[in-house]
Structure 1
Amino acid sequence: MGYVIGNIYVITTVAVIGGALFGFDIASMSAILGTQQYKCFFNQTGHGDDGSCGGPTSSTQGGISAAMPGGSFVGALISGIVTDWLGRRMAIQTGSVIWCIGSAIVCSSFSIAQLVVGRFINGLSVGILSAQVPVYVAELAQPSRRGQVVGAQQWAITWGILIMFYISYGSSFLAGNAAWRLPWGLQMIPAVFLFGMVFLLPESPRWLAKHDRWEEAHEVLALVHSKGDKNAPFVQTELQEIRDMVEFERANSDASYLDLFKGNMIYRTHIGMFTQIWSQLTGMNVMMLYITYVFGMAGLSGNANLVASSIQYVINVVMTIFALLFIDRWGRRTPLLVGSTLMMTFMFANGGIMASYGKPAPPGGLNHVPEESWDLSDAPSAAKGVIACTYLFVASFAPTWGPVSWIYPPELYPLRLRGKAVAVSTASNWVFNFALSYFVPPAFENIKWKTYLVFGVFCFAMTVHVFFAFPETAGKTLEDVETMFNTPGMKPWKTKVQYHHVRQLETGALQSEKMADLQAEAGTRAPDKEAGAATHTE
């Protein structure tokens, strides 16, 4: 194979740069849209009494922001075809090339139309990468580390947000159009690095197996799980389980998008889609993308607003670390339930504070920004309360819905449908991201503080939905998850995390038992017979 990186953490570090690109877009848009250089170049609303520019109208800004998730929706859908055809690695490289094209168009924009087109192309890239990077690392990782490495996608997003926000903030001090052209140009650099480094990464062993490249699949499993030892018990077990699953799926049907909505597969499809839909309806990306509007209503402006906004990006990075350390022990259900409950609390708190202590802003909004339509300047303590609840909201999202929304979908589906299924799930994310990006500026302008109540209600609804419909997948191999879903009478609220069991399996404590089973059942075992001790519901 030539030189190929085998350390799963190094592989993950390279692959999740694709997630960082999404973070770059969020942060650059958030930081840039509040600068006078950007507002004056794309000005549609005239000038204030002090000569400042009003920038694009709220609906136009919503369209500019929504262009990226609109492209991401399309990119996520086509990613399922791209990844099944070219492989996980080449899908990632394709996304990298598209990102550079979009960034070149954006940073050279001379009109709103060109800016929208460039951001749409950037979105195509983000859609491909956000759908297929989690699939790639999930198919390479050991079960006990799967949540950790897939969750690194979210951590990369938070780092991308933080880094690009400060680059954009620093660029805001430059004169003229360089203030926004520079950060949008610099974001090409990590995509170039990602494209080159992917040549040193192994292909997914499950994709290789699906295409009958069994020797290569065996080599990759040995490289990643046992430092090249093809005879390691866990490698042998994993290879056999993949072989059984591939043979079973070929004997039953070919994969198509329609299969996701047939029979009992529609249940899993709806879980994957709603994991991504609910992650958007928490309101987190609204908080990140339009945080300058929120803090503007709390009385902050100029550099003070940008610095205060950046604090929540630091919180986002730091709090995500807890998920990376503990998510495979916590599982999937508990973080989702705890996170949505806390976020609901802080959304309702923000709405209540604004309604009780604020007042409508003057016509045209605070700081000549129509979206800053509510005024807390006469209640500094209440304004601090809004800022604090916003920070606490971010701290609640970061270790829960943030990483789990990327970890969970790739675990839900059989191999034959995984690429397409995760593409559909991720496309659901981008549809709602698009809608919210377009909806929020007019919402702040028209329904003001009630915008918080809308998201608070969504957080309540997702708590109920997760409790009754989302089973636990942590502590199981991807093949064992398939067995769980095929178990009659499976009740999601009774499924358990089995982290310690799967760690024993990986370290060899259960290998003799598993190998004995394989030898006894060689050539006869079907995937629905794999439940064994590794997966059960109570």
Structure 2
Amino acid sequence: MAVGPAATVGNSADGFIHLVDPNRKWYNNKRLIILHAWLVLLLITASTNGYDGSLMNSLQSMGQWTDFFHNPQGGTLGLLNAIQNIGSLAGYPFAPYLSDGIGRRPSIWIGAVCMLAGAALQTACMNIHQFIGARFLLGFGLSIASNAAPMLVTEVSYPTYRPQFTSLYNTLWYSGNIIASWTAFGTANINNHWSWRIPSLLQAIPSVFQFFLIWFVPESPRFLISKGKEQQALHILAYYHADGDEQDPLVQYEFQEIKTAIRMDQETQKNVGWKALVATKGNRRRMLIIVAIAWFSQWSGNGLVSYYLNKVFDTIGITDHSIQLLITGILAIWNLCWAVFASFQVERWGRRFLFLTSGAGMLLFFTLQTICSAQYAIHKTQSAAHAVIAFIFLFYAFYDLAFTPLIVSYTLEILPYSLRAKGFNVFNFTISVALIFNQYVNPIALKNIAWKYYIVYCAWLAFELAFLYFFIVETKGRTLEETAALFDGEELTQLQQATAAVVSEVRHEDYDEKSSDPGLKA
């Protein structure tokens, strides 16, 4: 490890935190307020995904929807739930090339166009084939927008707010979940096809905002620097992070660190392209963690609740559709509150603590849920059925500590810029594969072995907890480039040394300028 200035960079956040103006807060700086408004426009991409996940769960509880599509069951029902993720799979080959090729903003706009078309077709469809096609189109657009939007969030955020905002991205899945759940609860009383067409139409709202407003959002400085547009990148960093002062020490630190990291990646061919994802020990460890947490996020028992909650209710004797929809809506609000709470604790408690606490809690309460489900199935004990509902809520409280806020933010921050789009695409691809697997297997397993299927998840959750303990690396208190380089050993030292040299120069220039000011001397 280097000494002097380089050592300062290596001490967690100390390399940049003293450069941050302590008086510049999110609530008292006009340009930060504007920046955060644009970030919210990006964050609602996750709302579309959450809306869709809850929408299908709610539609299955609507008699009007099941009657219109002739009560789909088995493989047909599995296809209806999985087709959106199949559409996402079709979009994944294009997503990283669009994000890295034409930029984050144009990619989000293209995704919004596809999702608008899908929502329109789903609202107007007259048969199940059109409904399936609409959901495929929604998934295709979502894969493109979901690749670019969280990367843009993490790459333009003010450094001290980046972990929280990036963690909020996946958290806002529940905002869409809440809107869909309560919209369906309200429209379920309409005795015609509009009971399910209205929720389908409202799914387009986030995409409408993005279609018209995305061009006002600042482009990623990292993307611009990678394309040789350094002055434009510097202007964006200065405008939003230092009130337009391009010589601000924090802006210069960010600018030089980004340039250094991108140059190091471009000069080393092993850090570029798809093969680079597994070319080095550090990258292989990254991909193992990324694939694992992506799979865990959908294969921890939550898939049973997210897409087949009505089937779970059936196994414990809760068959009234109104009660099912009511519980779904309350659960969505509960999840959002816990996930938002966890998003604001990522820098205080650390990623590793949140992951381990989440894994232990999920294992405990899913096991208790399994025991109570068995008690109801065998003895028809009503108190056991009520306990299942309680344990579902407690299970999700712990799930939301890590597997809602952290899976996207942790994935993005451990990937270097050159691999960020491709690595994040692998993350999204893994989630889609896990979802498709769940959506086909879960209804069949629940139908055939009911509560006994929960035992499989109990064993899997124990494995998850062991994996998290041995593999999750703490990344608290580092810049984006330092966090990404954390897996690369010597390359981290090189990055720290190169950036520290520039920071030292900036400090001297800043000192000389202040020393030459007569007012300061006096």
TM-score between the two structures when normalised by the length of structure 1: 0.83
Match of 1:507 in 2: none
Shift of 1:17: 1.1
Aligned partner (choices 235, 250, 265) of residue 249 of structure 1: 265
Q: How does 1:338-487 map to 2 (within 5 A)?
A: 338-359=357-378, 378-487=380-489
Shift of 1:329: 1.7
Contact 2:370 2:454 in 1 (8 A): yes
Contact 2:304 2:312 in 1 (8 A): no
Q: Tell me, which stretches of 5 or more residues in structure 1 are unaligned?
A: 44-54, 360-375, 491-510, 521-538
Shift of 1:6: 6.8
Name the SS for the 1:399 alignment partner: helix
Contact 2:46 2:170 in 1 (8 A): yes
Q: How does 1:44-443 map to 2 (within 5 A)?
A: 55-253=71-269, 255-264=272-281, 265-300=283-318, 301-359=320-378, 378-443=380-445
Name the SS for the 2:189 alignment partner: coil
1:338-376: CA deviation from partner (whole Å, max 9, x where unpaired): 1111111111111111223314xxxxxxxxxxxxxxxx7
Letter in 1 for 2:179: I
Distance 1:340 1:85, change over 3 A: same
Contact 1:139 1:204 in 2 (8 A): yes
Alpha-carbon distance between aligned partners in 1 of 2:244 and 2:452, rounded to the nearest angstrom:
58
Question: 1:23 and 2:62 equivalent?
Answer: no
Match of 2:12 in 1: none
Letter in 1 for 2:361: L
Shift of 1:137: 0.8
Aligned partner (choices 41, 57, 60) of residue 14 of structure 1: 41
Shift of 1:59: 2.1
1:27-46: CA deviation from partner (whole Å, max 9, x where unpaired): 11111111111111111xxx
Distance 1:5 1:67, change over 3 A: farther
1:64-113: CA deviation from partner (whole Å, max 9, x where unpaired): 00111121233244211110111011111111111011112222222222
Question: 1:515 and 2:503 equivalent?
Answer: yes
Bigger shift: 203-212 or 335-344?
Answer: 335-344
Contact 1:19 1:129 in 2 (8 A): no
Shift of 1:5: 8.0
Distance 1:130 1:458, change over 3 A: farther
Alpha-carbon distance between aligned partners in 2 of 1:471 and 1:145, rounded to the nearest angstrom:
20
Shift of 1:118: 1.2
Name the SS for the 2:191 alignment partner: coil
Distance 1:417 1:386, change over 3 A: same
Alpha-carbon distance between aligned partners in 2 of 1:77 and 1:224, rounded to the nearest angstrom:
33
Distance 1:158 1:128, change over 3 A: same
Shift of 1:516: 1.5
Distance 1:182 1:437, change over 3 A: same
The CA RMSD measured in Å over matched residues stands at 2.3
Contact 1:275 1:405 in 2 (8 A): yes
Letter in 1 for 2:487: F
Shift of 1:127: 1.7
Name the SS for the 1:402 alignment partner: coil
Name the SS for the 2:244 alignment partner: coil
Match of 2:25 in 1: none
Alpha-carbon distance between aligned partners in 2 of 1:4 and 1:174, rounded to the nearest angstrom:
45
Match of 2:513 in 1: none
Alpha-carbon distance between aligned partners in 1 of 2:365 and 2:165, rounded to the nearest angstrom:
29
TM-score between the two structures when normalised by the length of structure 2: 0.86
Shift of 1:205: 0.4
Match of 2:518 in 1: none
Match of 1:33 in 2: 60
Contact 1:148 1:323 in 2 (8 A): no
Give the total of aligned pairs. 471
Give me the identity figure in percent: 27
